[in-house]
Amino acid sequence: MADWWRLRAVSTEYLPEGGGSHHWVLTDGDGLRHFVTVDDLDSKDWLGDTRQAVFSGLRRALGTAAGLRHGAGLEFVAAPVPARDGELVRRLGSRYAVSVFPFLAGRSYRFGPYPDEGLRRQALELIAALHQSTPAVRELALVHVLGFTGRGDLDAFLADPGRPWDGGPFSPAAHCQTAARAADLARLAAGFDHLAAATAPARASPVITHGEPHPGNLMTVGGRVLLIDWDTAALAPAERDVCQIAAGPGDIDYYQQAAGRQLDPAVITLYRLRWYLDDLGSAIRMFRHQHRDTPDTRQWQESLAPQLEQLPRWLDLIG
């Protein structure tokens, strides 16, 4: 921190929050607090398939956030602080990368559905303004590749669903639960591919999206709502963002009026299905391979059965 950001740490406090990243609050000699993030380059496969590719993608995503805040004037974007050489993220060994953000003192929200209509409408307004700012970062932003985490592991499992898993303590139970639903999983994966192909024309005009505008990535600071965590920022259909906020047709209409664009219901379904398959694929990837009994893996194991129980509803939804 001293070499790269000229920050002399008087104290640091580790914050066990989020997934795939590690966070600290650093207090400097002037008593100012800073939010330091160390990203695990092995846990961000949406940015690339090698550590170098992930690091390059992270640089572009954070650069997009900085461009939106400072170039497009979107003050709700919580952008990183440049290092002394102007870089927004620096490599920390072969596996990690470090970045620094202003410390935000305010109210945060839980991951999950939006707690009330007021916050949901505010989020839709932010997303509409974000999408309208696409020209400012079009040349800088990544292009979102439609897919979901763990697709390779899901396909490998479906090719041989009877093959046991022995990667760790939760592997046998997870395999038993998943194997019982193998036929439905195969139908849903095929349905995802079919829906992706059918909606390709409707997805041909991407905008800059946040990628994960759920309540856990919002903060209210000084009466203003801010969007945090921009490592998923990319050019994609507007539905990628709206599907995580809208609770019904009224919210869809609200966004369409605010943004001046029409949404495609089939694309909203596609991105909601992608989110669901992302959770399932992540669990399958985790339990097919080596893992330990930790609070994180235990939580994933406990959530697997409820996730699998939703399969019939998704199959009905996509026909």
CATH number of 120's domain: 3.90.1200.10
**Predicted local distance difference test score (pLDDT) of residue 58:** 97
Same domain, residue pair 71 and 109: no
Residue at a domain's end among 83, 103, 123: 103
Say yes or no: 94 and 112 in one domain. Answer: no
The residues near 142 (Cβ < 8 Å, ≥ 6 apart) are 47, 57, 60, 61, 64, 233, 234, 235
* pLDDT tens, position by position, 137-150: 999 999 999 999 99
Q: Is residue 1, in this structure, part of any structural domain at all?
A: no
Q: CB neighbours of 172 closer than 8 A, spacing ≥ 6?
A: 164, 165, 166
Domain hosting 299: range is: 105-319
Is 209 in a helix, a strand, or coil?
strand
Residues of the chain with pLDDT > 90: what percent?
A: 94
Looking at 75, 103, 131, which one is the last position of a domain? 103
Evaluate if residue 274 carries a pLDDT over 90. yes
* Residue 70 shares a structural domain with residue 133: no
In single-letter form, the type of residue at position 187 comes to R
The reply to whether 88 and 156 lie within a common domain is no
Q: Which residue has the tokens 């440049």?
A: 82
Contacts of residues 66-74 at CB distance under 8 Å and 24 or more positions apart, as own/partner, are 67/136, 67/137, 67/140, 68/130, 68/133, 68/136, 68/137, 68/208, 68/233, 71/136, 71/137, 72/133, 72/136, 72/137, 74/129, 74/130, 74/133
This prediction's pTM: 0.93
DSSP H helical segments within the chain, as ranges? 2-5, 51-66, 117-132, 134-137, 151-159, 171-179, 182-198, 239-242, 249-259, 265-288, 295-308, 311-318
Q: What is the largest CA-CA distance in the chain?
A: 61
Q: What is the rounded average pLDDT of the residues 126-133?
A: 98
Amino acid at 241: D
pLDDT of residue 151: 94
Same domain, 83 and 151: no
Among 103, 138, 163, give the residue marking a domain's end. 103
- Residue 205: pLDDT band (50, 70, 90) is very high
Q: What tens digit of pLDDT does each residue of 40-94 get?
A: 999 898 999 899 999 999 999 999 999 999 999 999 999 999 999 999 999 999 9
Query: What integer best gives the mean pLDDT of the chain?
Result: 96
Q: Which two tokens stand for residue 247?
A: 């609770």
Q: Are residues 89 and 197 in the same domain?
A: no
- Helix H or strand E segment including 11: strand 9-15
Residue 4 lies in a domain: no
Which residues face 100 on adjacent strands? 36
Residues 158 and 283 in one domain: yes
The pLDDT value recorded for residue 296 is 87
Q: Is residue 33 included in any domain, yes or no?
A: yes
